[in-house]
């Protein structure tokens, strides 16, 4: 279990992380979601004792990272796949990590097998592709067979096969009862990976809960209606209290009603319908709506 209690990090006058509190439960993949620059990496680094919080604290199974004895046995982390000396072999990289936490040398071979790098174990890590580096980073995280795992943007820059592999891997780790926290700036990726979401923007918590709830809440449900008698149907729907928008191409978008309700109203009033289709707002739109005000750098589109 990971707990953040009032976690805050200031750099001069800039507040990177602003009073974050959350709890990450075991047995589930929790997505840590937010636009770039929202403070995800800084938060993870504070959880791992790399950066010192300005105030507040982060606990792993009730202890701060520095209090953990042989921390790799409790926590595994992949923050940046490039944190490897380029002239050191993959095997040597894992060997010193294993040694530092009193893990047996055979564990190095085991984790190399798990991530499929056994064949290239003796090659220098600097020559690895991004996908291979990512696998090496995951091998390092798994070395101590930890109950808590943190991954920072693990699918960034990976090919579809690599993305699928990491996704299934994280899910299987959670299924074994481990705590898995994975950060991402892509809601679509998190929607298929994480069961729970902690969403932040500009260092503040925006939402916390299950992924399905978040998507339900965030996406606007509307129904597209086409009919030769829109001028008759529109006022009827407005009378029922639904929000109705006239689209440019002669259709109506109705918000707040299900397609069943609209069909019933149309039928009861003898209105012919040519189309009645429920619309689901895209995840990216929903995410943008929620975090829109908290994106650090805006790009002005279409000006």
Partner 1 sequence: MTLLAVERIKLFSTRSPWWCMALAVTLTVGMAALIAANTNDEFPLSVGVSQSFSNFGMIVIMVMAALAVTTEYRFGTIRATFLAVPGRVQALIAKTVVVAVLAGVIGEVVAFGSWGISTLIKPNADMAINSSVEWRNVAGTGLVFALSAVLAVAVGTLVRQTAGAVAILLVYALLVESLIGLIPKIGVNIQEWMPFMHANNFLTADSAALPEGAGPPRLDFPFGPWGSLAYFAAISVGLLVVALAVAKKRDA
Binding site for partner 1 (CB under 8 A): 45, 48-52, 65-66, 68, 71-72, 75, 77, 79-80, 82-89, 92-93, 95-97, 99-102, 140
How far apart are CB 139 and partner 1 at their closest, in Å? 12
How far apart are CB 47 and partner 1 at their closest, in Å? 11
How far apart are CB 77 and partner 1 at their closest, in Å? 6
Partnered with residue 197 across adjacent β-strands are 31, 209
What phi, psi does 205 have (nearest 5°)?
A: -70, 130
Q: Would you say 69 or 239 has its CB closer to partner 1?
A: 69
- CA dist., res. 190 & res. 175, Å (int): 17
Q: Would you say 44 or 166 has its CB closer to partner 1?
A: 44
How far apart are CB 101 and partner 1 at their closest, in Å? 6
How far apart are CB 64 and partner 1 at their closest, in Å? 9
- CA dist., res. 116 & res. 94, Å (int): 14
Q: Would you say 13 or 231 has its CB closer to partner 1?
A: 13
What phi, psi does 19 have (nearest 5°)?
A: 55, 55
Q: Would you say 133 or 211 has its CB closer to partner 1?
A: 133
Helices 106-115, 130-142: axis angle to 10 degrees equals 140
Q: DSSP strand E in 34-169: where?
A: 55-60, 75-78, 148-152
Cβ-Cβ contacts under 8 Å for 182 (sequence gap 6 or more):
29, 30, 31, 32, 150, 151, 154, 170, 190, 193, 194
Q: Would you say 48 or 266 has its CB closer to partner 1?
A: 48
């Amino acid at each position: 279990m990971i707990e953040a209690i009032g976690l805050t990090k200031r750099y001069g006058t800039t507040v990177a992380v602003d009073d974050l509190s959350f709890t990450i439960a075991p047995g589930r993949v929790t997505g840590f979601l937010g636009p770039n620059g929202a403070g995800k990496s800084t938060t993870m680094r504070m959880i791992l004792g790399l950066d010192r919080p300005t105030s507040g604290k982060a606990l792993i199974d009730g202890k701060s990272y520095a209090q953990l004895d042989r921390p790799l046995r409790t926590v595994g982390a992949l923050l940046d796949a490039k944190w490897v000396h380029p002239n050191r072999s993959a095997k040597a990289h894992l060997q010193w990590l294993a040694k530092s936490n009193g893990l047996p040398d055979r564990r190095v071979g085991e984790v190399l097998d798990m991530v499929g790098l056994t064949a290239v174990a003796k090659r220098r890590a600097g020559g690895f592709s991004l996908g291979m580096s990512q696998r090496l980073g995951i091998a390092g995280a798994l070395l101590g067979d930890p109950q808590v795992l943190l991954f920072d943007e693990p699918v960034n820059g990976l090919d579809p096969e690599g993305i699928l592999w990491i996704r299934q891997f994280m899910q299987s780790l959670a299924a074994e009862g481990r705590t898995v926290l994975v950060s991402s700036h892509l809601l679509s990726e998190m929607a298929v990976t994480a069961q729970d979401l902690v969403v932040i923007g500009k260092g503040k918590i925006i939402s916390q809960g299950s992924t399905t709830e978040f998507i339900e809440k965030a996406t606007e449900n509307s129904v597209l209606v086409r009919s030769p008698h829109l001028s008759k149907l529109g006022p009827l729907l407005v009378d029922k209290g639904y929000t109705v928008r006239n689209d440019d191409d002669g259709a109506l978008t109705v918000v707040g009603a299900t397609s069943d309700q609209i069909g019933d109203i149309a039928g009861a009033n003898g209105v012919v319908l040519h189309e009645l289709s429920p619309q689901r707002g895209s995840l990216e739109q929903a995410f943008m709506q929620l975090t829109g005000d908290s994106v650090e750098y805006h790009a002005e589109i279409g000006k």
